[in-house]
Amino acid sequence: MENQLIVYNTLTRKKEVFKSILPGYVGMYVCGPTVYGNAHLGHARPAITFDLVFRYLKHLGYKVRYVRNITDVGHLVADADDGEDKVAKKAKLESLEPMEVVQMYTHDYHQNMGLLNVLPPSIEPRASGHIPEQIETVNKILEAGYAYESNGSIYFDVQKFAETNEYGTLSGRKIEDLISNTRELEGQEEKRSPLDFAIWKKAQPEHIMRWHSPWSDGFPGWHLECSAMSTKYLGDSFDIHGGGMDLTFPHHEAEMAQSKIANGKPSVNYWMHNNMITLNGQKMGKSLGNAISLKQFFSGEHPLLEKAYSPMTIRFFMLQAHYRSTLDFSNEALQAAEKGYARMMKAVETLKKLPVSQESTVDVDALKEKVYVALNDDFNSPIAIAHLFDTVKMVNSINDGTEKITAVQFEDLKKFMQAILFDVLGFQEEEVSEGAGQEVFNNVVDLLLELRMEAKAKKDWATADKIRNQLTEMGFVVKDTKDGFDWKLK
Ligand code: ZN
């Protein structure tokens, strides 16, 4: 494409022309889930956002190494430096081993991401599998003089860092405000400044997730894992770091500072953040009682949901908003998305058998160009989808004969739609939704049994028996009644 890919960089608050460090190769790190509960909408947005980025970069011809971690240790309740580990807390509640909790919810996350057609990342490292790397990062920071030991724990010295580096730029905070806002936090008696954060934490006796280290039996601070693992798999500097906007502070701010000290240079070229989701206008969160799991969306089993919404409806709905905009989920909006998606997929069916002509009245190249311009403008999927709806109109007009397309254009359009809809936007042709699917299923069984009645009327016993016996074999119970038949599945 002639026009270049533009990426909005959270750090500079500017749209920048994307240029990879190595030609043709992109290293991308995205903060993945902390696995202590079922995957919900809040997980789906960053996953789908960076799935689009991953897919589009590959479509543009880049080789992409996409690293998305699993946080299974060190993320403490309330994102604090002291207290219970989120995973261990859940394990205690459920009488499970922490790693059982991790396994269960990692599986749930993968399952749901698979349904949403989110591609697996190239590498999916777990924090608990990278304790030596994290200890090494702590050592580097200590050696550089930007961390100190206090009672077996190691803290990052934010004020020292801020003397010669920017701290707060990514999240748009001023260090003075940060100091006054963090004074009340627990455990600060160990810290020189309330702003400092733990990179290694000495474990209390009751803390079960613990490892040996030169300083204490303990565990890594939450922010540290992403510095250690991104460096391990992507090097000292890499192209893109992504995550939800809620992670900019303290998580990414801390990560940026640690990595800079440990690696001796800024580690990330483009910081990208997806905006948050609201539900009926309210921020999503467990405390508000409006956190709906993805499974509940797919089954419709939640008091706030009027019906089930398919994974592709959710994906389509999310991509109909730009990733940097907030997105409000409501039944009304989802039902509109469901209809829009169905219309798009119907056009894909129509497209397969469009009549071609010698002449053309359509401009396929212009449509393609518009879609690429949108995607190159900071992955503007809603604008791209709007242009795809123009394509839907065009397809329908060609189908009803009001417009004409040549065979060459037709092949080109098919290839383009396939690439953008399925490879880049990651849509899938979906089975008809459960309710409609059930109806079709019932109709098919009824049809077979009607054919059996007709066969019986014609004394074609062989056909009548064949239908009945095979349905029985498949697990149906078929009964002849006064007015015809009755059936059920065993
Ligand atoms: Zn992270």
Q: What is the mean pLDDT of residues 224-235?
A: 97
Q: Could you tell me the distance, in angstroms and rounded to a whole number, from the CA of residue 32 to the centre of ligand 1?
A: 7
Better pLDDT: 190 or 387:
387
Domain with CATH 1.10.730 in the chain: 279-431
Q: Could you tell me the distance, in angstroms and rounded to a whole number, from the CA of residue 409 to the centre of ligand 1?
A: 45
Say if residue 437's pLDDT is above 80: no
Per-residue pLDDT band for 178 (boundaries 50, 70, 90) equals: confident
Q: Could you tell me the distance, in angstroms and rounded to a whole number, from the CA of residue 157 to the centre of ligand 1?
A: 19
Q: Could you tell me the distance, in angstroms and rounded to a whole number, from the CA of residue 278 to the centre of ligand 1?
A: 22
Does the N-terminal peptide bond of residue 303 adopt cis geometry, omega within 30 degrees of 0? Answer: no
* CA gap 387, 49 in Å, rounded: 19
Better pLDDT: 1 or 20:
20
Q: Could you tell me the distance, in angstroms and rounded to a whole number, from the CA of residue 375 to the centre of ligand 1?
A: 26
Q: Could you tell me the distance, in angstroms and rounded to a whole number, from the CA of residue 252 to the centre of ligand 1?
A: 7
Phi, psi of 39 (to 5 degrees): -65, 130
Which DSSP letter does residue 265 get? S
**CATH for the stretch 279-431:** 1.10.730
Q: Could you tell me the distance, in angstroms and rounded to a whole number, from the CA of residue 38 to the centre of ligand 1?
A: 19
pTM for the full model? 0.86
The protein residues having their C-beta less than 5 angstroms from ligand 1 (an ion) are 31, 226
Contacts of 329 (CB under 8 A, 6+ apart): 41, 277, 278, 279, 280, 317
Q: Could you tell me the distance, in angstroms and rounded to a whole number, from the CA of residue 222 to the centre of ligand 1?
A: 8
Per-residue pLDDT band for 1 (boundaries 50, 70, 90) equals: very low
Our measurement of the distance from residue 220's CA atom to the centroid of its chain's CA atoms, rounded to an integer in Å, reads 25
Q: Could you tell me the distance, in angstroms and rounded to a whole number, from the CA of residue 227 to the centre of ligand 1?
A: 8
Q: Could you tell me the distance, in angstroms and rounded to a whole number, from the CA of residue 378 to the centre of ligand 1?
A: 22
Q: Could you tell me the distance, in angstroms and rounded to a whole number, from the CA of residue 285 to the centre of ligand 1?
A: 19
Q: Could you tell me the distance, in angstroms and rounded to a whole number, from the CA of residue 283 to the centre of ligand 1?
A: 21
Domain with CATH 3.40.50.620 in the chain: 22-274
Tens digit of each residue's pLDDT (9 = 90 or more) over 246-284: 999 999 999 999 999 999 999 999 999 999 999 888 887
Checking DSSP bridges between strand 14-17 and strand 268-274, what pairing results, if any? unpaired
Contacts of 283 (CB under 8 A, 6+ apart): 276
**CATH for the stretch 22-274:** 3.40.50.620
Tens digit of each residue's pLDDT (9 = 90 or more) over 310-341: 999 999 999 999 999 999 999 999 999 999 99
Sheet with 63-68, strands from edge to edge, namely 63-68, 25-30, 238-244, 268-274
Q: Could you tell me the distance, in angstroms and rounded to a whole number, from the CA of residue 216 to the centre of ligand 1?
A: 24
Q: Could you tell me the distance, in angstroms and rounded to a whole number, from the CA of residue 61 to the centre of ligand 1?
A: 27
Q: Could you tell me the distance, in angstroms and rounded to a whole number, from the CA of residue 124 to the centre of ligand 1?
A: 12
Contacts of 264 (CB under 8 A, 6+ apart): 236
What proportions of the chain, in percent to the nearest 5, are helix, strand and coil? 50, 15, 35
Token pair recorded at residue 57:
């970069």
